[in-house]
């Protein structure tokens, strides 16, 4: 399916709405104002999934995932690089924010914090997609893991791995950059349905 | 028929707003960034301006400052995905008449628009 | 209505569950309040039905709760509220007054009508688990604190030790310089002395000066003891390092044996060899053998000289014993003791001296040294 600039614009806006909501919640949890930026959206076919890896590398991420099923089905991830994960944990648990951090694995309590933040971000984005596109989905509960991008993509069932939507967002808490990546991985049919819904709304086409 | 200027970088979002407002007999004109929006506000003198916050090439906050500096008194309604109280307070301080959150709800936008258009002009 | 029927089914089984369950609609009106949450909160299901949850629990009327609940109502994924970040979703106390710590999940109520969405709030009591986590965390923090304090104390001791070493080395150096002056002038005085009594007195002065010098030399060596970490030494290498100059040959049968010891171990063998040269009259050779035993490795160092008299066997290891400095074997025993190695004299007078080392298990290796 050919994706054009206005499809990307629609998805960007849906992600934007979701991230805005998530930032509002995080702002209350951290007691700090959060500055937002416009998310960057890219879409890859299964054949192009190698490009994602060459583009964003093979570093280990803190990954929060959940499955969704319905008019479109697949898996969604929120990924935080270690540096951003540390800033988030410090900001939420009220630790002193500092630039240098020990290279230690996350404790189960820290993972619990990251899981909740990831849950907030996924809910923002998936919530805005289903709400604006008026699509009913059912979801699994969120889970937490630490892995690199190839492993995360491999985790998704083959038939749900035909299209990858990558949204890269940046939020700033006290001038510290928190980088979050949202991956929505779907089957080709599901992806077409999603784009079709976006077009129905953005091109004055009545559903 | 009141004319509404919609300033939002997302054509997707502008279409949603336009559809909602055209159904309610408003006329809509559009701009995809703050700078262009400012030019259109001066040239077209719309009745109400709806502005997004996060935009390239003059964002919503800069736009609010700019129309204040230019002495333009057209009521402005901010429609943003940013739900932080701090952001709302800043917009209202910069002269915005109303502050609404995305996703847009028809049942919120239309009454807010009518209220802004009332002769007293208070939201 | 379908929803009502669904809720009555929910009532039947959810009252038996040990989790709190509450169902609310789009306007946050309570439709269902199970028995467990009724017990915890003290409000019955009948009392709660029809009430607005956010009015009853105003903390829930903040973005971090309300926006997230509304997202689920709008069709978003489940929201999970970790007990680590939100102590209680619905604050309620146990009989002992302790606040229940809750882990909460908010999911769309599966039976709900799409036009009138509801969410189900599932609350688990994790108070016990939370207390365990907290006490483990406290223990860990305490342990980390203690380690930090110990490190500080160690640093302070290191500094103090360095200062003392510096002081003693400077003092030693100064005294040795003065002894050289004494030595020089004694030489002149001895040449000039014509009176035998005077010469005898000068002899005493020289002997005393030499004792002072030896004490200082010992002092310097003793200070090195235990400064460096013990390490592995191959017996062969140590023995080869002794420069025998063909005076008294050494025969060793300890190939492949390594022992774990203070780096001053070299001095041990050097001292034993020096002693043999000085005191083992008529000795022709030195034999070194190793014998594993139940108490560890026994290393025997023996010569065929005059041997050590029975009464002196323990005395020779005391400071001040002997004709020379009286420091050699004392130091030898101290060096070995650092890694638990003992040394005793077990020879027979007239047949030769025999030093027996006992190296504990784990402090020696036989075979290819790693």
Judge whether A194 and A186 are in contact, CB under 8 Å. yes
Give the percent of chain C with pLDDT over 90.
39
Q: Residue B6 has what pLDDT?
A: 97
Q: Is the CB of A204 less than 8 angstroms away from the CB of B12?
A: no
- Residue with the bigger pLDDT between C83 and C218: it is C83
pLDDT digits (tens, 9 = 90+) for C298-356: 999 999 988 888 888 888 888 767 655 555 788 888 888 888 999 999 998 888 999 99
If asked whether residues C93 and C143 sit together in one domain, one would say no
Asked if pLDDT for residue C130 goes beyond 90, the answer is no
Nearest C-alpha neighbor of C75 from the set A133, A204, A35, A13:
A133
At A181-201, the pLDDT tens digits run 999 999 989 999 999 999 998
Selecting from C63, C64, C77 the residue whose C-beta is nearest the C-beta of A66 gives: C77
Measured distance CA(C284)–CA(A104) in Å, rounded: 64
pLDDT at C239 over 70: yes
Q: What is the CATH number of the domain that holds C25?
A: 3.30.450.20
* pLDDT over 70, % of chain C: 95
Nearest C-alpha in A relative to B85 = A24
Position A178 in a domain: yes
Predicted pLDDT of residue A103: 59
pLDDT of residue C10: 74
What are the boundaries of each domain within chain B?
Answer: 3-117
Please check whether residues C109 and C15 belong to one and the same domain: yes
Nearest to B16 among A27, A37, A201 (CB): A201
* Cα torsion angle, A56, A59, A60, A61, sign: negative
Q: Does A124 touch chain C (CB under 8 A)?
A: yes
Q: Lowest mean pLDDT of B39-53, C265-279, C321-335, C336-350, name the range.
A: C321-335
Q: What is the mean pLDDT of residues C190-205?
A: 90
Closest chain A residue to C133 measured between Cα atoms?
Answer: A109
Distance CA A183, CA A167 (A): 6
> Looking at the predicted structure, is the pLDDT value of residue C209 above 50?
yes
Distance in angstroms (rounded) separating the CA atoms of residues C8 and A204 = 44
Contact C137, A110 (CB under 8 A): no
Range of the domain at A32: 5-202
Omega prior to C133 cis, within 30 of 0: no
Confidence of residue C120 (pLDDT cuts 50, 70, 90): very high
Q: Model confidence at B45, in pLDDT bands (50, 70, 90)?
A: very high
Work out the burial of residue A2: count CB atoms within 10 Å of its CB; fewer than 13 is exposed, 13-18 middle, 19 or more buried.
exposed
CATH classification at residue A80: 3.40.1550.10
pLDDT of residue C280: 83
Radius of gyration of chain C measured on its C-alpha atoms: 42
Query: What range does the domain containing C252 cover?
Result: 231-366
Assigned domain for A66 exists: yes
Domain C-terminal end among C199, C224, C249 = C224
**Nearest CA among A132, A113, A114 for reference residue A15:** A132
Using a 10 angstrom Cβ sphere, with 0-12 exposed, 13-18 middle and 19 or more buried, the burial of residue C5 is exposed
Does residue C332 sit in the same domain as residue C266? yes
Segments of chain A with pLDDT less than 70 = 96-105, 204-207
Residue after which a domain boundary falls, among C96, C125, C154: C125
C12 burial (CB, 10 Å; 0-12 / 13-18 / 19+) is exposed
In a domain, A174, yes or no: yes
Using an 8 Å CB-CB cutoff, list chain B residues near A19.
81
Inter-chain contact C64–A29, Cβ cutoff 8 Å? yes
If asked whether residues C64 and C85 sit together in one domain, one would say yes
Contact assignment for A25 to C63 by CB distance below 8 Å: yes
Does C161 share its domain with C279?
Answer: no
Q: Are residues C138 and C254 in the same domain?
A: no
B77-112 pLDDT, tens digit each: 999 999 898 999 999 999 999 999 998 888 899 999
Average pLDDT score over residue span C57-71: 91
Are residue C362 and residue C238 in the same domain, yes or no? yes
Tokens of B8: 């939002």
> How many structural domains is chain C composed of?
3
Average the pLDDT over each of A65-79, C9-23, C54-68 and give the range with the smallest value: C9-23
The domain made up of B3-117 has a fold known as Rossmann fold (3.40.50)
């Amino acid at each position: 399916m050919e994706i054009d600039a206005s499809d990307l614009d629609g998805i960007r806006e849906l992600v934007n709405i979701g991230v805005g909501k998530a930032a509002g919640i995080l702002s209350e949890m951290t007691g700090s104002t959060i500055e937002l930026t416009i998310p960057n959206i890219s879409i890859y076919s299964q054949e192009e999934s190698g490009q994602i890896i060459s583009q964003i590398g093979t570093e280990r991420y803190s990954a929060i995932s959940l499955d969704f099923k319905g008019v479109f089905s697949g898996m969604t991830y929120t990924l935080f690089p270690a540096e951003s994960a540390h800033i988030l944990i410090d900001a939420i648990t009220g630790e002193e924010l500092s630039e240098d951090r020990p290279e230690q694995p996350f404790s189960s309590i820290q993972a619990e914090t990251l899981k909740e933040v990831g849950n907030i971000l996924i809910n923002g984005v998936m919530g805005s997609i289903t709400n604006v596109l008026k699509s009913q989905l059912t979801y699994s509960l969120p889970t937490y893991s630490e892995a690199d991008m190839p492993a995360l993509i491999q985790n998704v069932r083959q038939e749900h791995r035909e299209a990858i939507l990558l949204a890269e967002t940046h939020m700033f808490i006290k001038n510290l950059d928190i980088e979050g990546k949202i991956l929505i991985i779907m089957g080709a049919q599901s992806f077409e349905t999603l784009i079709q819904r976006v077009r129905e709304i953005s091109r004055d086409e009545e559903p | 028929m009141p004319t509404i200027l919609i300033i939002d970088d997302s054509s997707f979002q502008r279409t949603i707003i336009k559809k909602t407002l055209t159904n309610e007999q408003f006329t809509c004109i559009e701009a995809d960034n703050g700078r262009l929006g400012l030019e259109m506000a001066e040239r077209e003198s719309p009745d109400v301006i709806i502005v997004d916050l996060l935009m390239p090439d003059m964002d919503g906050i800069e736009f609010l400052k700019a129309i204040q500096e230019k002495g333009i008194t057209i009521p402005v309604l901010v429609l943003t995905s940013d739900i932080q109280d701090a952001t709302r307070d800043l917009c209202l301080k910069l002269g915005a008449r109303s502050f609404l959150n995305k996703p847009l709800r028809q049942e919120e936008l239309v009454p807010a628009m009518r209220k802004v258009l009332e002769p007293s002009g208070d939201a | 209505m379908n929803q009502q029927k669904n809720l009555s089914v929910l009532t039947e089984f959810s009252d038996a569950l040990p989790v709190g369950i509450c169902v609310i609609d789009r306007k946050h009106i309570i439709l269902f309040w199970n028995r467990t949450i009724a017990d915890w909160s003290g409000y019955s299901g009948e009392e709660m039905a029809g009430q607005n949850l956010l009015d009853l629990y105003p903390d829930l009327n903040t973005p971090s709760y309300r926006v997230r609940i509304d997202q689920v109502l709008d069709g978003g994924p489940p929201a999970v509220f970790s007990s680590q970040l939100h102590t209680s979703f619905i604050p309620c106390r146990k009989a002992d007054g302790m606040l229940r710590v809750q882990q909460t999940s908010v999911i769309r109520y599966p039976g709900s009508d799409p036009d009138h969405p509801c969410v189900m709030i599932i609350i688990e009591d994790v108070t016990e688990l939370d207390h365990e986590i907290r006490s483990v965390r406290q223990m860990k923090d305490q342990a980390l604190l203690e380690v930090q304090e110990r490190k500080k104390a160690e640093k302070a001791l290191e500094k103090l030790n360095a200062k003392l070493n510096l002081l003693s080395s400077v003092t030693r150096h100064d005294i040795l310089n003065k002894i050289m002056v004494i030595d020089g002038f004694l030489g002149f005085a001895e040449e000039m002395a014509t009176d035998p009594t005077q010469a005898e007195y000068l002899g005493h002065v020289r002997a005393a000066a030499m004792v002072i010098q030896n004490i200082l030399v010992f002092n310097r060596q003793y200070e090195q003891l235990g400064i460096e970490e013990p390490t592995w030494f191959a017996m062969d290498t140590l023995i080869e390092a002794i420069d025998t100059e063909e005076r008294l040959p050494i025969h060793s049968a300890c190939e492949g044996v390594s022992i774990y010891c203070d780096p001053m171990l070299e001095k041990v063998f050097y001292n034993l060899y020096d002693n043999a040269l000085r005191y083992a009259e008529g000795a022709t050779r030195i034999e070194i053998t190793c014998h594993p035993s139940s108490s560890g490795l026994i290393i025997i160092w023996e010569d065929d000289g005059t041997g050590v008299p029975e009464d002196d066997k323990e005395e020779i290891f005391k400071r001040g014993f002997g004709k020379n400095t009286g420091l050699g074997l004392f130091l030898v025993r101290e060096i070995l003791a650092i890694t638990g190695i003992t040394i005793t004299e077990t020879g027979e007078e007239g047949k030769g001296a025999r030093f027996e080392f006992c190296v504990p298990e784990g402090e020696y290796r036989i075979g290819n040294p790693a």
